[in-house]
A and B are shown apart, each in its own frame.
Chain A
Amino acid sequence: MSNYVILSPSAHKNTKVITERGAVYGDQVKYAVTYPLEFRNIQSSYPIFFSKSSETGEFFPVALLGFENNENLFLSDTGWDAAYIPMMVERQPFLIGFQTSDEVEEGKKPVVSIDMDSPKVSEDQGEALFTEDEQPTEFLKSMMIRLEALHQGYEHNKGFIVSLAAIDLLEPFTLEITLDDGSTNQLLGFYTINEPKLAELDGDTLADLNTKGYLQPIYMAVASHARVRALIEKKNALLR
């Protein structure tokens, strides 16, 4: 379970964060949540599909990492084997939220929280968060920049998803793969871009998607399907 507390120099002066990747650090997951602003980077390594939240029924894009629960085919003894790591993985064990405040102009102050129950949190190894004089370390500063980018990406994604749903551009699909040993794996419960429908969109709809910055990520998601082959190869390699 998670145990998020608001980050503060006084409470977390001895807290460190482990930056290595591995199963023991909670990285053994089948997919990572992603968002359109990082699709360009994601599609170079991972297939992008869409999943549905069991809490709200809303769609969210995911980078596929494996075919079974608790399977991350990018994870090896030496770490995470990919050119780019999804931001939602990178941000762990931190979360960003916003508090209403009079101090800043927009009335919202970013608040960073840390999951004290995360296996990445330690007192004796990893990167420190605060200096002796209670200032954020370079590590924490770079993390904050990522968290803000993540927040922007999250907000942008909301509009993206609503637009896709409004023009019925998502469709459920089942991926059935056959491995070298003859066994089959079925990937259920994911959704993808309906390509025939995409090809039939009229000019006005395309222009609207383009203006909002949604058109490029749609094609990035389509292009990312080419990464499924590589993922199957990784799975086959495990069998050898």
Chain B
Amino acid sequence: MNSSVNRIVIVGGGTAGWLSAGIIAAEHFIAEHSASDAQSSQGFQLCLIESPDIPTIGVGEGTWPSMRSTLQKMGISETEFFRECSVSFKQGTQFYGWITGKDDTYAHPFTLPHKYSETNLAPHWQSVRDRVKFADAVCPQSRLFGDKLAPKNIATPEYAFNLNYGYHLDAGKFADFLRKHCVKKLGVVHISANMTAVNSSDNGDIVSVTTDSHGAIEGDLFIDCSGSQALLLGEHYGISLVSKKQYLFNDSALAAQVPYQNAEDPIQSCTLSTAQSAGWIWDIGLPSRRGIGHTYSTDHHTEEAARTELLNYIAATAGEQAAADANLRKITFDPGHREKFWHRNCVAIGMASGFIEPLEASALVLVELSATMIAEQLPANRQIMDLVAKRFNDKFLYRWDRIIDFLKLHYVLTRRRDSEYWIHNCETSSIPDSLQELLAIWQYQAPWHRDTSHIDEMFPSASFQYVLYGMGFTTQTDPMQRRADRETAKMAMSLFRENTQRTEQLINSLPTNRELIDKIYKYGFQKI
């Protein structure tokens, strides 16, 4: 039997389901299709079954810069996206209290250090480290988002930028927006129904899923976007979750939507991440409201204590009234990922594949990467699918390990000893071996291109630099020892100066995040 893989069924909506549908449909269904065409055609079919009864979790409110090209490929107008999904610009993350817990801060901007492909500025920064923060020395972006400025102006074409950016968005509105686009423009068939049964063939593949209102839906490949329940991969196939709680302790979150005190209050153009006694608080500025939440470890904190810290933060940054009015939503999760993600003819994306604290907004980017790999390597037939599945599993297990290493890096460099949580985070047993090795190497050489073993690495080595040197890590390099470094030393000083000039120039020319968003509502971006 040589059965072709033409019918794709996505189980579950939400941002994971609709983003996956859009990415796959943009790759395979670019020609216009009506819903009836898609069902009868011999070519690819893509349908998404969404329960009308299950609300989406909607926690992923921060994206990576990769979302720009993802949306562009799907044929989405950036202007419409801004207008319909409460979008603001995200240029990175500003961390508070992670080093000492007392008035310390550092930035992880999305833009790479100046001339990063040619020169590694990190060794040269060591000599000026007492005078200027690493991110400020090598890149204009941290100062820009410090001033709540936008990464571009209204005359910049859509998706283009002066400084690399991603988005903050309203996840609920985003899922609705993607649904409309997928159905109207990309030929995705939307089935509003509850799944009641999974039907297997003799060989163990899923042949169809039964729904309460649309009968059995047959398919060749089933994508599980059903959220943390993982109805197909987890419940049906019994692929278990591998807990990573020994490395990353946070397993609960309290989330709130907080209004601005004044309609004209500035909108942050980075995520704010403020360390607490047993976790950290995220603060995401949308044009209409802020999304604020506290993710913490239940082994180290009671819900009551976490709630108090969160309300204190809201009171301090949005006023007592906002704290009194805050409606907190509790989310619990087992930090970790499935043992594998693709099993037989079923692959999981989104929370069905795993979930970890949103410290570096890895949730949506994993959806993008997973759906893109499926779209690009969509097996032609069932025979080849097991090979594609193996590649997919290898790649995403590797990616999860890199995410865990990178998130853990934020914790292990702390000097905080004010609670068990921070003390436990620094214990060797809680640090993955792979990260311990990296830390050992970085004591003697700064991360750079040599640290990326894969061409499509999750985090660029620059991200490691920003966190390492932002948190005060010392690399004992002698920039004058290597011949190449001696030559670049002069170059480095002029690059630092160039960066300072460029920073001043951008600060003087870019609008604020709110000003630009208002202009997008009024005029929109041009395509060119």
Contacts and interface: CB of A to CB of B under 8 A. Distances in A.
A and B: bona fide binding partners: yes
Nearest to B79: A57
Contacts of B526: 52, 57-59, 165
A58 B527 CA distance: 11
A56 interface: yes
A138 interface: no
Contact of B154 (A57, A170, A191): A57
A128 B279 CA distance: 76
Interface in A139-194: 165, 168, 170-172, 191
Contacts of A54: 153-155
B153 A170 contact: no
Contacts of A172: 528
B285 interface: no
Contacts of B155: 52-54, 57
A168 B158 CA distance: 13
A161 to B, nearest CB: 10
Contacts of A52: 155, 526
Interface stretch (B162-170, B305-313, B517-525): B517-525
A95 to B, nearest CB: 21
A57 B524 contact: yes
Nearest to B524: A57
Contacts of A59: 526
Contacts of B154: 54-57
A62 to B, nearest CB: 14
A57 B525 contact: yes
Contacts of A53: 155
Interface of B is mostly: loop
Contact of B523 (A57, A168, A170): A57
A191 B153 contact: no
A182 to B, nearest CB: 30
Interface string B497-528: 00000000000000000000001001111111
A56 B522 CA distance: 8
Contacts of B153: 54, 57
Contacts of A165: 526-527
Contacts of A55: 154
Interface string A205-229: 0000000000000000000000000
A54 B526 CA distance: 12
Most A CB contacts (10 A, CB to CB) among B153, B154, B156 go to B154
Interface string A22-56: 00000000000000000000000000000011111
Size range of the chain A interface in the assembly: 10 to 19
A58 B523 CA distance: 7
Given A52-B155, A54-B153, A56-B154, A170 B528 contact: yes
Contacts of B523: 56-58
Contacts of B528: 168, 170-172, 191
Nearest to B156: A57
Contacts of B525: 57
Contacts of A168: 527-528
Nearest to A52: B155
Contacts of A57: 153-156, 519, 523-526
Contacts of B527: 165, 168
B180 to A, nearest CB: 20
Interface in A100-119: none
A140 B155 CA distance: 36
Nearest to A172: B528
Contacts of A58: 523, 526
B82 to A, nearest CB: 13
A56 B511 CA distance: 12
B429 to A, nearest CB: 55
A52 B526 CA distance: 9
B149 to A, nearest CB: 15
A53 B522 CA distance: 14
Contacts of A56: 154, 519, 522-523
A171 B527 CA distance: 10
A55 to B, nearest CB: 7
A52 B156 CA distance: 9
A236 to B, nearest CB: 31
A57 B155 CA distance: 4
Interface in B137-154: 153-154
Nearest to B154: A57
A78 B526 CA distance: 41
Nearest to A170: B528
A197 to B, nearest CB: 12
B236 to A, nearest CB: 47
A238 B524 CA distance: 42
Of the listed residues A57, A165, A170, the one surrounded by the most CB atoms of chain B closer than 10 A to its CB is A57
A52 B528 CA distance: 10
A25 B276 CA distance: 64
Most buried by A among B156, B522, B525, B528: B528
A191 B524 CA distance: 18
A100 to B, nearest CB: 21
Nearest to A58: B523
Interface string B162-199: 00000000000000000000000000000000000000
A54 B156 CA distance: 9
A166 to B, nearest CB: 10
Q: Which of B153, B523, B526 has the most CB of A within 10 A?
A: B526
A61 to B, nearest CB: 15
A204 to B, nearest CB: 17
Nearest to A171: B528
A58 B79 CA distance: 13
Nearest to B516: A57
Nearest to B525: A57
A52 B525 CA distance: 11
A53 B154 CA distance: 9
Given A53-B155, A56-B523, 12 more contacts: A52-B155, A52-B526, A54-B154, A56-B154, A57-B153, A57-B155, A57-B523, A57-B524, A59-B526, A165-B526, A168-B528, A171-B528
Interface of B: 153-156, 519, 522-528
List the 7 shortest-distance A-B pairs measured between CB atoms, nearest first: A57-B154, A56-B523, A57-B155, A52-B155, A54-B155, A57-B526, A57-B523
16 contacts: A52-B155, A53-B155, A54-B153, A54-B154, A54-B155, A55-B154, A56-B154, A56-B522, A57-B154, A57-B523, A58-B523, A165-B526, A165-B527, A170-B528, A171-B528, A191-B528
